[in-house]
Amino acid sequence: MAAEMEPPPLGDAEQTDFREVEDGEDLFVSTVTTLESSPSSPPEPASLPAEDVSVNSNGPKPAEIILDDDPEDLFAEATEEVSLDSPEREPILSDGPSPAITPVTPTVMITPRIEPAMFDHSPEEEEEEEEENGDTFDMNISVSDPEKVGDGMNAYMAYRVTTKTSLRIFDRGEFSVKRRFSDFLGLHSKLASKYLHIGYIVPPAPEKSIVGMTKVKVGKDDSSSTEFVEKRRSALERYLMRTVKHPTLLNDTDVQQFLENTELPRAVSTQALSGAGILRMVNKAADAVNKMTIKMNESDAWFEEKQQQFENLDAQLRKLHASVESLVCHRKELSFNTASFAKSAAMLGNSEDHTALSRALSQLAEVEEKIDQLHQDQAYADFYLFSELVGDYVRLLTAVKGVFDQRMKTWSKWQDAQVMLQRKREAEAKLQYANKPDKLQQAKDEIKEEIVEWEGKVEQGEREFEQISKTIRKEVGRFEKERVKDFKVVIIKYLESLVSTQQQLIKYWEAFLPEAKAIA
């Protein structure tokens, strides 16, 4: 079943008249355009030669330009702090080029080398196409069949990733591959290193869990490991769906390869304690310090407002998450107690001499057992619909905040370039009054060159800043739309489960009443 989040019993609920859900199973309805539109987006300038980009990576890396001045940028600009509770949730970005080098993706927006004018066209075009196509985002990914591969501590879970789509960027309408968890992390790492720093909100991958995985590896076949695997499977599915719903990411070859290629090079830098891992930790610390020292002159109130809003939202969502977790916990407790009571009622019924009463008590026990099952189903719904959704958004918000931070950095680079330019100009002025005639001309020429270079960098800095600001506005708009959609879907599903539960209860009580009345 493609992308089914809800447990089987919920499927019994009558299909609601919720028109947006076309085939009753597509949870993630989106108005994102189908990617058939991309070939028809404004023609890329012929001047975009493949070698331009493929030299270093299969994605834009404006960081290359200013490498000399900002050595920290060599590594991941890791700003997604996924601090729900576990310490292992470190964002993992690729260091440098990803192994699978692929030709440039056609979507105009990703390549910053293009004139700013080009950027003005594409967003609007994209929007127009969205309106035309409505909800025809036809793609469904399901993650299923978790399978343990290998033995002992080297074992891992392999998941089947099945894609069903009619989008033309894919060769086939339905295809399926086997992936392991580190593959997902690797994908995210690549996407983050390509898109985060230019302002795209890259959905975060599910967290690592050393405890959870160890249990599975060691072969504990109890309910907590199955729960863990199911939780992870669901999270991976949601992660992929979120990723492909992003039009830019969907067009990324890494994403497409991930979905299509049978073999994928193993993503090794995702291991927690690897050398790369340690480097990441060091850089995060450096980043944190940087963040504190950048004091940005915000000329655009929109950004300030939004940042404040997201800070508030973050706090609210965390609180919400805690409340939902508490709800899930209590419901599980209720289920346990109900089962316990059912047993004791059965024993009472067995000891009872009076036949009709004894039968009624046994029926009571059965009813309570069924109610227990309802509680369990509801707890499952609470968790997968609610708790995981809120958790996903808390993690997404860190990506959003990261993107704002990137903008600050971009601004800072631009400012730094301006400062350098100023210094060079001052140096030039000084040279006018210098009195070393033989070296003077050479120095003057050098300075002139440097000034030109820095003027270029200032222009670029400004461009990039404007671009990232524009991208962020769009991304935030998209984020908020998606957020509304996701929560809408959840509230409807949740209500459906509530209605279904009450329906079942009515059946049980109606069946029990005559038994109770029959006691004479």
Partner 1 sequence: MEESGLSISADSIRVTEVTEDGDALIFTITSQKLNSDVGVCVCRTFEDFEWLQQSLFSQEDVPGLQGVIFPPLPGKPLSSPQSQAQAKALKQLGFLALGDDWKSYCKALEIYLQQVANHSTLSKNKALESLLTNSEPPGKQRVHKGIFSRLSQAVGELRKENHKDLDDFFQNERNNNLSMTQFSKTATEKFLEVVLSEQKLAVACGHLSTSLHLCVNQEGSDAGNFSKICMKLSEVIDAVKRNFEKVADNNLSTLGLGLDMEYRGQEAKKDMLFRRTCKLVELETAVKNAEKAKPNKKAIMEEVKKVVEKDFDQISSIAKEEIGCFNKCKVTLLRSSLVDWCEKQLHTAREDHELFSRQLEACEQLCVTESTENRIE
Q: Buried b / exposed e across 387-408, counting CB within 10 Å, b at 16+? A: bbbbbbbbbbbbbbbbbbbbbb
**Contact assessment for residue 112 and residue 467, using Cβ atoms and an 8 Å cutoff:** yes
Strands of 174-180's sheet in order across: 139-149, 156-165, 174-180
Cβ 120 to partner 1 shortest distance, Å: 21
181/404 with CB nearer partner 1:
404
14/151 with CB nearer partner 1:
14
Cβ 506 to partner 1 shortest distance, Å: 5
Cβ 47 to partner 1 shortest distance, Å: 36
440 Cβ contact partners less than 8 Å away, ≥ 6 residues apart: 431, 434
Q: Which helix (H) or strand (E) holds 144?
A: strand 139-149
DSSP 438-492: HHHHHHHHHHHHHHHHHHHHHHHHHHHHHHHHHHHHHHHHHHHHHHHHHHHHHHH
316/422 with CB nearer partner 1:
316
281/518 with CB nearer partner 1:
518
52/132 with CB nearer partner 1:
132
Angstrom distance (rounded) from CA 395 to CA 411: 25
170/341 with CB nearer partner 1:
341
411/494 with CB nearer partner 1:
494
Cβ 503 to partner 1 shortest distance, Å: 6
SS3 content of the chain, % helix, strand, coil (to 5): 65, 5, 30
Q: Which helix (H) or strand (E) holds 140?
A: strand 139-149
Cβ 198 to partner 1 shortest distance, Å: 23
Cβ 129 to partner 1 shortest distance, Å: 14
Selection from 397, 386, 395 nearest residue 486 by Cα:
386
Strand runs (DSSP E) across 33-114, as ranges?
none
Which residues of the chain form contacts with partner 1 (CB under 8 A)? 16-20, 31, 131, 134, 305, 309, 312-313, 316-317, 319-320, 322-324, 326-327, 330-331, 333-334, 337-338, 340-341, 343-345, 347-348, 351-354, 357, 360, 364, 477, 480-481, 483-484, 487-488, 491-492, 494-496, 498-499, 502-503, 505-506, 509-510, 512-513, 516-517, 519-520
Residue with tokens 């991930």: 258
145/333 with CB nearer partner 1:
333
Cβ 104 to partner 1 shortest distance, Å: 32
Cβ 196 to partner 1 shortest distance, Å: 23
Selection from 333, 479, 319, 300 nearest residue 407 by Cα:
300
Angstrom distance (rounded) from CA 67 to CA 123: 29
Angstrom distance (rounded) from CA 412 to CA 464: 11
